[in-house]
Chain A
Amino acid sequence: MRTQIEGSLAVAQAVAACRPQVICAYPISPQTHIVEGLSAIVKRGELTGCEYVNVESEFAAMSVAIGASAAGARSYTATASQGLLYMVEAVYNASGLGLPIVMTVANRAIGAPINIWNDHTDSMSQRDSGWIQLYAETNQEAADLHVQAFRIAEELSLPVMVCMDGFILTHAVEEVDVPEQADVDRFLPPFEPRQVLDPANPVSIGAMVGPEAFTEVRYLAHDRQMRALELIPQVAADFKEIFGRDSGGLVHTYLLDDAETVVIALGSVLGTIKDVVDERRARGEKIGVLGITSFRPFPLKAVEAAIGNAKRFICLEKAFSVGIGGIVASHVRMAMSSHPIKNYTVVAGLGGRPILKGSLHGLLDKAVTDSLEPLTFLDLDTDLVERELARTRAGGRSGPAAENMLRDLGASRVPTA
């Protein structure tokens, strides 16, 4: 049913329609509205056969999900930012054990400095955790991806992380066609675990594995992700058949047929980018957009097929690998390794900084003439940075950098007499 609804509540309703049997919740902004919504649904008795467990930490949230999933229950949790990092040991354990847990990550920056606003540093830090990672562009897609995630997870016996931009999506109210129970029931069969803790047929799960088989266990984890490259588009096609919408899949393309310049991004910023590209198309520029939905597994072939004829690509990234630069860009370069093209990394939107159309036009003006630096930080306040660098060059106890810069910003706002 199409309704005006907050993204978090749409996700909560979509998750509830998947009939999870164990939900574990620990609050962290901006994930809170999702687990609050689910709490109300369970408490009202609208989701029967479900245990809602208020745990004492994210580490416990993922651990409860591990136990529940291993006992054969469909299990769900949600987190963000510091919470994701706090549960990392269990995140790797869930994928290592091959447990099909679904988790929402309401993407948020990582401290220090503490920051509650959106970027992708949290989920990007888990790109090697063995989880499938799907990034939602809109709230509609966020809701839909959760329904698909349970199907993908349970078919492959692998956990799936659905990433949605914190606040930008989680707290935005817009029209969403929330997946209906009857349709979800047609799309998603009951959970049949590959492995289960059953007293009637006792098995040991979680044994110690030495050098004799560890590589093989890890190889099979990779192999399952490679099979996900085939499964994810199939599941998206099945979803379209029942729900009538294009949601999910490996990548989304926009005006790429004749594009010489391709802007690549993940998540909600794709909307802004498409607006900018529309304006530039109107001026006759051959430019298009590639949205990457599945970051793990990374669809090398789909990316190559999508941008193979372009002259250059620009990766707009809401996270970066400190000490080298773009994360997504390095993946796309690998996809294009047989015929490399010019490419640029633009780090943008860190800690919730707005990504504005004007700024994007400015950087694309440089990119299309290949006069952009290989690594750019969008709207970087170079004056602020220079002042802090000057302080550190002066030697001695220059003080904490973040607080120094906040003081500079505060001083610059004092009105002059």
Chain B
Amino acid sequence: MTTNDTTVEQAGFHHGIVPEVLHEDPASKPVKFYQVGSFAVGNRLLPLEVRSVQSDPNRTNALTSGHRACQGCGEALGARYALDAAMAAVDGQLVAVNATGCLEVFSTPYPETSWRVAWLHSLFGNAPAVASGVAAAYKAMGRSDVRVVAQGGDGGTVDIGFGCLSGMFERNDDVLYICYDNEAYMNTGIQRSGATPPAARTATTQAVGEDPGNTFGQGKDLPRIAMAHEIPYVATASVADLRDLEAKVRRAMSMRGARYIHVMVPCPLGWGTASSETLSVARLATQSGLFPVFEAEYGEVVASSPIRRQVPVEDYLKVQKRFAHLFAPTKRQDVIDRLQAQADRNIRRYNLLPTGAGTEGTV
């Protein structure tokens, strides 16, 4: 990567060629408005006009209250922020298409709906194609103002919906697809998906036998596969940094063509974490390097969010019951080391620890 922006570089926030729009975004400003002792963003410290979409009393509430997600659901949180940001970015001219999954089921139990946007659910594996159809229809009708977002979980995205997603990317259809990745099929009862990490316990990769949990050497890195399509925009984000998620959705909606955002959304039920720990475990994922947060344009990484205070992957693993078999009855240091090696590779690949980064504050 090359560096061409000393202000941003000095701030240690973004590294590399920073898209112009990010300079305008408060989350990207070289201002440390994080609260001391935590990584929570101090939105109230900012002037009104640059506060988050979510703090706007006139926000859409795209996914409004009363839905039936579990307590502490990362997907509900991510979807609410993402769609509110998208609605704000396109002046409410939005249609959302949803794959089958938790998000669809908990938001629309007949005869109720939590969606305050035009919303369509068709099937598990076809959300990208349905969204392409909606986009084609509005294009045919001369309504370039109406924009389309498709969304689904990791199963609906990296596995069963992958063919349609790749087709949508390849045609460069004018759709933003958002994957809420909780690393397994949670809606059906926590089964392994192509996004389940190695060693994780799921109902179909159980914590039994000589090598408990999911197998090493498998799985898909969908952001990188998306980049290989050379579409205009690919980004990863996490519910650990919701201002960053909002900024990336806004950035995506400022572009045309196929765009992809992959959001890390912990699942308390599937991961075996307390409902109150969703954000902190998501933060451990990014701060360990296991989940790299970056942006790419036309197949090339243009920015990444440096680790602010590096933690060993062990800190991330030990708070989750799905990895409990790595710590008892005997500690599997060999497995932990292999996962650490994955994190180290991400840190190298996305330059997550530029000089001076990684030692800030406490988690």
* A residues adjacent to B (C-beta < 8 A): 21-22, 24, 49-51, 53-57, 59-60, 63-73, 75, 89-90, 93, 97, 197-199, 201-210, 212-213
Contact = CB atoms under 8 A, between A and B. Distances in A.
Contact of A197 (B123, B134, B136, B140): B134
B140 A207 contact: no
A54 B171 contact: yes
Contacts of A67: 97, 120, 122, 129-137
A35 to B, nearest CB: 15
A72 B141 contact: yes
Interface in B261-315: none
Contacts of B163: 56-57, 59-60
Interface of B: 92-95, 97-98, 104-105, 108-111, 113, 115-123, 125-126, 129-142, 146, 163-164, 166-167, 170-171, 173
A201 B119 CA distance: 11
B111 A207 contact: yes
B110 A66 contact: no
A207 to B, nearest CB: 4
A55 B137 contact: no
Contacts of A208: 104-105, 108-110
5 contacts: A51-B136, A57-B163, A71-B133, A73-B141, A204-B119
B323 to A, nearest CB: 32
Nearest to A20: B140
Given A67-B130, A93-B123, A197 B95 contact: yes
Contact of A75 (B133, B164, B170): B133
Contacts of B173: 53
A378 to B, nearest CB: 39
A53 B136 contact: yes
B167 A60 contact: yes
B186 to A, nearest CB: 16
Given A66-B133, A197-B118, A90 B105 contact: no
Contacts of A89: 123, 125-126
Contacts of A55: 129, 132, 167
Given A67-B122, A208-B109, A202 B137 contact: no
Given A54-B171, A206-B108, A213-B110, A63 B164 contact: yes
Contacts of A205: 119-121
A222 B346 CA distance: 55
Contacts of A75: 133, 137
A56 B167 contact: yes
Nearest to B166: A56
Given A63-B122, A63-B130, A202-B119, A71 B137 contact: yes
B110 A209 contact: yes
A69 B125 CA distance: 18
Q: Which 3 A-B pairs have the closest CB atoms?
A: A67-B133, A206-B121, A56-B167
Contact of B122 (A73, A93, A201, A202): A93
Contacts of B111: 207, 213
A349 B162 CA distance: 38
B133 A22 contact: yes
A382 B133 CA distance: 50
Contacts of B93: 199
Q: Which residue of A49, A53, A64, A212 has the most chain B CB atoms within 10 A of its CB atom? A: A64
A106 B98 CA distance: 31
Contacts of A90: 122-123, 126
B196 to A, nearest CB: 24
Contacts of B139: 51
B129 A199 contact: no
B108 A51 contact: no
A77 to B, nearest CB: 10
B121 A66 contact: no
Given A56-B164, A204-B108, A207-B113, A64 B119 contact: no
A51 B143 CA distance: 13
Contact of A97 (B122, B125, B129, B133): B122
A64 B129 contact: yes
B123 A199 contact: no
A138 to B, nearest CB: 32
Contact of B95 (A22, A50, A66, A71): A71
A260 to B, nearest CB: 50
B110 A56 contact: no
A296 to B, nearest CB: 22
Contact of A22 (B105, B117, B125, B136): B136
A21 B122 contact: no
Given A69-B133, A213-B111, 20 more contacts: A22-B140, A53-B136, A57-B167, A59-B129, A60-B163, A64-B130, A66-B133, A70-B134, A71-B134, A90-B122, A197-B118, A199-B146, A204-B121, A205-B120, A206-B98, A206-B104, A206-B108, A207-B108, A208-B108, A213-B110
